[in-house]
Structure 1
Amino acid sequence: MEGYCVKCKAKKEIKDAAEVTMKNGRKAMKGKCPSCGTGMFRILGKA
């Protein structure tokens, strides 16, 4: 799963990705940037 790293300013593959449910019920992926280790977050579809 790819996400955007705001520190590297580039799209990267999310390392240690885990699916989480936000408090509004939507699904998201949470993990770390493989280059700099910054937290990455990607909101998934409404399904």
Structure 2
Amino acid sequence: MFGLGLLGIWVAQGFDEWIRGIFALRRWLSKPWLMKKEAKYEMTTNRG
């Protein structure tokens, strides 16, 4: 398409890795597993 050949494949793979890394870092920094743990803890302690 752009006439880059093998270099184009390498650039595309590198770009893909960066995008996936950014999403993984964003998810890691938001720590969604802590929210699930807190909700589970609240459910077990509110049984009375």
Q: TM-score, normalised by structure 1?
A: 0.19
**Which is greater in Rg?**
2
If asked which structure has higher relative contact order (CA below 8 Å, sep 6+), I would say: 1
Q: TM-score, normalised by structure 2?
A: 0.19
